[in-house]
Chain A
Amino acid sequence: MATEQMDGGRALIRALEEEGVEVMFGLPGGAILPVYDPIIDSSIRHILVRHEQGAGHMAEGYAQATGRPGVAMVTSGPAATNIVTPLCDAHLDSVPMVVITGQVPYAAIGTDAFQECDTTGITMSVTKHNFLVAEAQDIPRAIKEAFHIATTGRPGPVLVDIPKDIVDPANPRSAMEWTDDVEMDLPGYRPATDVDAAAVAAAAELIRAAERPILYVGGGILKARAAEALRQLAELTGIHVVTTLMARGAFPDSHELCLGMPGMHGNFTAVTAMQESDLLITLGARFDDRVTGRLDGFAPDAKIVHVDIDGAELGKVRRPDVAIHGDCRLAVEALVAEFTANGTGDADRGAWRSRISGWQERFPLAYEAWQPGQALKPQYVIERLRDLNPDDTIVASGVGQHQMWASQYWTFDHPYTWINSGGLGTMGYAIPAAIGAKAGMPDRTVWAVDGDGCFQMTAQELVTATVEGFPIKVALLNNSYLGMVRQWQEMFYEERYSEVFLSKDVPDYKLWAQSMGCEAMRVDDPDEIDAAITKANEIDDRPVVIDFRVMAEEKVFPMVPSGATNSDLVVPPSQADLPR
């Protein structure tokens, strides 16, 4: 076995290289300084961010676009606390990510040393696992275990906290012996993968018998890289598919069996078909409250088949009739094999199909046409973006109305083209996530769809994009408001608008973007939208920001008011009187 004397800092970078890390996002400081020195000689590209939250979201965007774990490295104390939001975001959306934080020297831990914080304590509940490494010799194993845990089972963020003395070559505690094959020591970590054949057979029986089945597909299908298997299953059985906010693109929106997004701002057909279903074939989804609405009124007649790699999801919210604990791709492939061998049954689904197509005809997504004198229609801006971009364009989104319109009006025909913050709903996610996606997929067009509130939370990362050479494009749906909150105040607080108006003209987004090295445009007139998008797509040497001035009064429809059941979906005014 090859061994080599080394210091902990070099061993840390070497261990990252061995994991195949090509790019990482970070910002140095005192405690992590010794690890930044070997980066100069490393094959790993380091992207210097402007705020550690940006590093975390970039790592997430990279992971969501490529399927490979995102890596971020920051120093101790305030840097560690700055990356807590992305950790929590990745935890809720099951994003594989490894975050390395510097820590004060081991002997100083617990003394309230300068820039000391209890990083593993603070992040315990927002990571899949975390480590505080005590000895230099343990660094390679901790890194190996971190990547293993982050990427297997239900993926998630893992944090590795590294005291300065074990990586500082000037300190004898950093001396260690590198060996090529370190063994992991994780006696309590046994992620499930294989699926139980009897459970698959029982699920197949329920599916054969169902007259109103729906494939309820969540982000787990993407994590399992099962989009192709899902398509086979849907086509073989002829069962319609809904894709949750985390699963947009897992099944092509333009497929005739695709019903689109369910949930609080889902389209009428997706929401209603789930509600009226007699069998929800739940694949890597978790009955989130944004999907179910009021739980006791959710899909009252539906039996449940639930496939998840995380056993704790099975029965957490809704009791399954058949639970399949394991990898979604294996489960879907097993169902495909079962139906191919033994047939899909002869349940009569004609009536169901015609109800679905009736809903689709009567209740398409709809908004009122633009009138002269009005600001832009945000939905129309998304439609033009969609139509003027290649269909493998990656769209990263912020959180708010613009996020819902992007999810609703874009046509996602490919997996891993939609990157957003679903579980945590983190404003400011779009720009850094788009940069991370571009870092992982440099040949793809990457658009961030952002709100003006969100933009102001993380816009400084456009400096990173310019300086590091990531020509992302930002469509800013600027309505001068914290629009989503404004919508709730309009609908549920008697139009009493409290602290939601940002400003009509401050900041000047165009000047701001230009000062960060971006090409910038402002669009007020619908006739200028196409030209601006076309121009943006021609620019490939720097980021582009388009400030689209959109209507503040526009609301996201349909909507399930919070506390209501999905049967009480509010449709746009133009559809309010139609028979359901």
Chain B
Amino acid sequence: MNINDPEYRYHTLVVTVENKSGVLARVAGLFARRGFNIESLAVAPTDDERFSRLTIVVDLESSPLEQVIKQLDKLVNVVEIRELHPGYAVERELMIVTVGAEPDRRDELVEHLDRAGGKVLSVGADRMMLSLVGPPDRVDDFEDLLRPFGIVELQRTGRVALAVLDEDA
């Protein structure tokens, strides 16, 4: 992926917020009110109980990144915003999925799964539940591979991300 590609629509923001009630509503309300579009959103506590971290993937077709960041920064409960340039971020997403798995196609399915590095979570008579953790585009690819088997149910977490470590530091 080319980070200088003007076509690149999505940008990841890692936002540290105070762990207070209503903070998610403030962020979501801001996006709604200003017409910013969220592509995906993941929320979780951090190692410091006072703070939570939001990983927000912003659709830049709706508005310039600079305005999104500046408006977010004005929220009193937003403590820090890190902008992760695509290509300089380590991004991960978890998918769990139940797919059709007739006995005669199971080997083929498990082969795909092993190659992708996924896991079997549960096995039924004619279905299997699988999980995969990986970069979002790999999760996309795996989802495409599963489609011919018949996806019964699928859940993805939305991505979380951290900056790539600087080798010199």
Contacts and interface: CB of A to CB of B under 8 A. Distances in A.
A572 B124 CA distance: 82
A272 to B, nearest CB: 30
A128 B77 CA distance: 11
B78 interface: yes
Contacts of B66: 315
Given A132-B22, A188-B17, A315-B67, A125 B29 contact: yes
Interface residues of A, number: 18
Contact of A129 (B29, B73, B76, B79): B76
Given A124-B26, A125-B29, A149 B70 contact: no
A188 B22 contact: no
B18 A187 contact: yes
B18 A125 contact: no
Interface string A96-139: 00000000000000000000000011001100110010000000
Interface in B58-83: 66-67, 70-71, 73-80
Contacts of A187: 18, 50, 79
B18 A188 contact: yes
B21 interface: yes
B70 A312 contact: yes
B22 A120 contact: yes
A312 B74 contact: yes
Which of A124, A186, A314 has its CB near the most chain B CB atoms (within 10 A)?
A124
B76 A189 contact: yes
Interface residues of B, number: 21
B25 A125 contact: no
Interface string B8-25: 000000000110011001
A311 B73 contact: yes
A125 B26 CA distance: 8
Nearest to B70: A312
Contacts of A120: 22
A288 B22 CA distance: 30
A314 B75 CA distance: 17
B33 interface: yes
A198 to B, nearest CB: 19
A124 B71 contact: no
A121 B75 CA distance: 14
Nearest to B17: A188
A128 to B, nearest CB: 8
Contacts of B17: 188
Interface in A178-206: 186-189
A310 interface: yes
Given A124-B26, A315-B67, A188 B21 contact: no
Interface in A380-431: none
A188 B79 contact: yes
Contacts of B73: 311-312
B30 to A, nearest CB: 8
Contact of A132 (B21, B26, B29, B33): B21
Interface in A67-103: none
Given A188-B17, A312-B71, A149 B76 contact: yes
Interface string B133-157: 0000000000000000000000000
Nearest to A314: B70
Given A129-B76, A188-B79, A189-B76, A124 B25 contact: yes
Nearest to B22: A120
Contacts of B77: 188
A188 B21 CA distance: 15
Contacts of A312: 67, 70-71, 73-74
Nearest to B72: A312
Q: Which of A128, A132, A311, A312 neighbours the largest number of chain B CB atoms within 10 Å of its CB?
A: A312
- Max count, chain B CB within 10 A of own CB: residue among A129, A187, A188, A314: A188
A149 B75 CA distance: 11
Given A125-B33, A132-B21, A132-B22, A188 B78 contact: yes
For the complex of A and B, 9 pairs with smallest distance between CB atoms: A312-B70, A188-B79, A129-B76, A189-B76, A188-B78, A187-B79, A311-B70, A312-B71, A125-B33
18 contacts: A121-B25, A124-B22, A124-B25, A125-B33, A129-B76, A132-B21, A149-B76, A187-B50, A187-B79, A188-B17, A188-B18, A188-B77, A188-B78, A188-B79, A312-B70, A312-B71, A312-B74, A315-B67
Given A124-B29, A132-B22, 11 more contacts: A120-B22, A121-B22, A124-B25, A125-B33, A132-B21, A187-B18, A188-B17, A188-B76, A188-B79, A312-B70, A315-B67
